[in-house]
Amino acid sequence: MKQARPAKKQSPQHPSKKSPAQFLPITSAEARARGWNELDVIFVSGDAYVDHPSFGVPLLARLLEARGLRVGIIPQPDWRSKEPFMALGRPRLFFAVAAGAMDSMVAHYTPARKLRRDDAYTPGNRHGARPNRATIIYTSRLKEAYRDTPVVIGGIEASLRRFAHYDFWEDKVRRSALFDAKADLLIYGMGENPLLELVERLQKGEPFASIRDIRGTACAASAIPETAGEVVELPSYEKVTADKAAYGESFRLLSREQNPGCAKVVIQQHATRYLVCNPPAWPLSGADLDAIYALPFVKAPHPSYKEAIPAYEQIRNSITTHRGCFGGCAFCAITHHQGKTIQSRSEQGVLNELEQLASLPWFRGSVSDLGGPTANMFGLSCGDKEAGDKCRRDSCLFPKICKNLVTDDAASSRLLAKARRVSGVKHVAVSSGVRYDLMERQPRYLRELVSQHVSGLLKVAPEHLTDRVTSVMRKPGHDCFERFRDAFQKESAKAGKRQYIVPYFISGHPGCTLSDMVDLALMLKRWGMRVEQVQDFTPTPGTLSTCIYHTGIDPFTGEKVYVARSDREKGLQKALLLYHVPEERKNCLAALRECGREDAAAELFGGNNRR
């Protein structure tokens, strides 16, 4: 009789699909139900607990769980006292703190510094479930409750505030979030590899205080560290606070140290101490990403919530195909957080997740998004690895597409075609943004997108169309958008569809004047395009646009850049793109008078132009 094979042991990175998904504990009762009297790592998050890979804290928590750790989450604790932070007890290794998927100040305030009344990451869309500067407040409460337990801060708020940075809401330069929070370690970027290495070294018995050399982390030191390689020293916090030229120089120096292949240790003095920032973590491989997204996510909010969470409703039927963006837009933080290197999942890994999504009882056949930060960057890479490891460009696309960039669209167009054939999937949308300058080299992807994955309207974000402004934004200009618009209309006609482009624009961006907005409004009028929403520029921490807003100077060229600072002017810029809205006509006329462009009124408010 043939002997039965022993059951194959499941790797913690590839959990059995037969195991029912189970929420991570958020209360001591839920931890005890698992037989856990003590947790190894406890995450504290400014977001509600949604067990979905699009939410950073649950993803990292699942990753540690897959490595055999006992992990819990304290979501949106009441920060007014220390007791909510003690809900799961003291962790054996450390607390991990994140303000949430957004910087807490961006989540709380409009570009006019007015308080928002909603929060998409909170049940019921309610405002007020997290404090201002959540990273600092959460860490303070944890130190109050457990003074000797290490606290690691991370997420986009800590990541982009790790150096001295301009804070729009206080209109001043603030210290590194690490010093303000009094945390023990800061993890920047996406965090998986730094977090895993930290845990592994702690498990081997290394004291927390001695772990200071992990890639993708920053720590405090009393002296300039001795390292094997060169150290880049930024102007001190005190200097960048007093001198805007020094602030620009600090940004320029730091921007050169973003490539993991050639980045050095970067330090910045704060009074008598130093912020020591190690080089960025290495990008994840496709196999690594496949393993992460195959972890046993429930893909639902924790059952304790009785109200809908808008951010979840938006992404519940979405699939992430890749990370990173090499666009290098001046106003965008994605490159600074996820990196410039595109980290793509395997085609089969994406299709496996699609099959799992299609099997869920609430799925009705429509995938809301198949993409990443920029949808048409899936599968792309630098064609010269040696050159790529030494590259210090902020963008592979601006001012022109790099000769080493592989722009082939075979992988992305093939994935779209296969995704449509997954059993149970009726429609696959691509809701992520696309770079239309890149798509000029991707005719197959454009054809697939237009013929099969656009439901009448395609949202694109040119942000502006006058070349002087798009140059400051590090975006393609007017001619490129026109070529894309024509190609889109041509492909739509071939597919027998009547479809339109919905463009998104930013008002009040550095470099943009009222006259520039008049020119943009006239272009849209002549093309028969109307916008319903205009994003007012918000100077968020860590971006080039914010540096220019604060200093009035491009740190790379040294040239002065016009900056609209008053709420009145920013409001007039926004009104010009809404010229077709009757309530905005008075503001539009005021804007035209102010910049001496009254002659444009007849065209703007006249009859319809061609579509």
Q: Does the annotation list 332 as a binding residue?
A: yes
Angle at 463 between CA 460 and CA 468, to 5 degrees: 135
Verify that 497 and 425 share a domain, yes or no. no
For residue 19, what pLDDT is reported? Answer: 45
| Average pLDDT score over residue span 129-135 | 97
Q: Is the pLDDT of residue 592 over 70?
A: yes
| Average pLDDT score over residue span 404-423 | 96
Verify that 445 and 494 share a domain, yes or no. no
Residue 53 lies inside a defined structural domain of this protein = yes
Q: Is the pLDDT of residue 442 over 60?
A: yes
Q: Is the pLDDT of residue 454 over 60?
A: yes
| Average pLDDT score over residue span 574-591 | 95
Verify that 480 and 444 share a domain, yes or no. no
* Banded pLDDT at 75 (limits 50, 70, 90): very high
Verify that 382 and 395 share a domain, yes or no. yes
410-420 and 347-359 are packed helices; what angle lies between their axes, rounded to 10 degrees? 20
Residue 596 lies inside a defined structural domain of this protein = yes
The more confidently predicted of residues 14 and 341 is 341
For residue 608, what pLDDT is reported? Answer: 58
Task: Give the C-alpha separation, 189 to 345, whole Å.
Answer: 18
For residue 229, what pLDDT is reported? Answer: 77
For residue 323, what pLDDT is reported? Answer: 96
Q: Is the pLDDT of residue 7 over 60?
A: no
- The C-alpha R_g of the chain, in whole angstroms, comes to 25
The more confidently predicted of residues 16 and 200 is 200
Residue 371 lies inside a defined structural domain of this protein = yes
Residue 297 lies inside a defined structural domain of this protein = no
Residue 579 lies inside a defined structural domain of this protein = yes
Structural contact between residues 494 and 445, judged by C-beta atoms closer than 8 angstroms: no
pTM of the model: 0.93
Instruction: Indicate the residue among 189, 219, 249 that finishes a domain.
Output: 219
Q: Is the pLDDT of residue 92 over 80?
A: yes
Task: Give the C-alpha separation, 44 to 76, whole Å.
Answer: 7
For residue 21, what pLDDT is reported? Answer: 73
Structural contact between residues 483 and 440, judged by C-beta atoms closer than 8 angstroms: yes
Q: What is the pLDDT of residues 157-194, one digit of tens each?
A: 999 999 999 999 999 999 999 999 999 999 999 999 99
Residue 585 lies inside a defined structural domain of this protein = yes
Q: What is the pLDDT of residues 496-539, one digit of tens each?
A: 999 999 899 999 999 999 999 999 999 999 999 988 789 999 99
Tokens of 191: 């965090």
Residue 428 lies inside a defined structural domain of this protein = yes
Please give the DSSP secondary-structure letter assigned to residue 208: G
Task: Give the C-alpha separation, 437 to 480, whole Å.
Answer: 6
For residue 459, what pLDDT is reported? Answer: 87
Phi and psi at residue 541, to the nearest 5°: -60, 140
Q: What is the pLDDT of residues 339-385, one digit of tens each?
A: 999 999 999 999 999 999 999 999 999 999 999 999 999 999 999 99
Q: What is the mean pLDDT of the chain?
A: 93
Verify that 419 and 492 share a domain, yes or no. no
Verify that 422 and 470 share a domain, yes or no. no
Q: Does the annotation list 219 as a binding residue?
A: no
Q: Is the pLDDT of residue 286 over 60?
A: yes
Q: SS3 of 348, please? A: helix
For residue 12, what pLDDT is reported? Answer: 33
Q: How far is CA 124 from CA 51, 117, 128, 307, 486, in A?
A: 17, 11, 11, 5, 42
| Average pLDDT score over residue span 82-99 | 98
* Banded pLDDT at 225 (limits 50, 70, 90): confident
Task: Give the C-alpha separation, 444 to 411, whole Å.
Answer: 10
Alpha helices in 161-233 (DSSP H): 177-181, 192-203
Q: What is the CATH number of the domain that holds 431?
A: 3.30.750.210
Verify that 86 and 194 share a domain, yes or no. yes
For residue 16, what pLDDT is reported? Answer: 35
Q: Is the pLDDT of residue 217 over 50?
A: yes
Write out the residue range of the structural domain in which residue 210 sits. 28-219
Q: In sequence order, what DSSP letters do the residues of 373-439 get, joined into one string?
A: SSGGGTT-EES-HHHHHH---S-SSSSS--TTEE---HHHHHHHHHHHTSTT--EE---S---HHHH
Instruction: Indicate the residue among 219, 237, 267 that finishes a domain.
Output: 219
* Banded pLDDT at 17 (limits 50, 70, 90): very low
Q: Domain count of the chain? A: 3
Q: What is the pLDDT of residues 229-261, one digit of tens each?
A: 789 999 999 999 999 999 999 999 999 999 999
| Average pLDDT score over residue span 109-120 | 94
Residue 18 lies inside a defined structural domain of this protein = no
Verify that 584 and 510 share a domain, yes or no. yes
Q: What is the pLDDT of residues 22-59, one digit of tens each?
A: 999 999 999 999 999 999 999 999 999 999 999 999 99
| Average pLDDT score over residue span 126-130 | 95
For residue 9, what pLDDT is reported? Answer: 35
Instruction: Indicate the residue among 194, 219, 244 that finishes a domain.
Output: 219
Verify that 62 and 165 share a domain, yes or no. yes
Q: Does the annotation list 329 as a binding residue?
A: yes
Verify that 427 and 462 share a domain, yes or no. no
For residue 56, what pLDDT is reported? Answer: 96
For residue 11, what pLDDT is reported? Answer: 34
Q: SS3 of 518, please? A: helix
| Average pLDDT score over residue span 71-82 | 98
Task: Give the C-alpha separation, 294 to 15, whole Å.
Answer: 8
Q: What is the CATH number of the domain that holds 585?
A: 3.30.750.200
Q: Is the pLDDT of residue 441 over 60?
A: yes
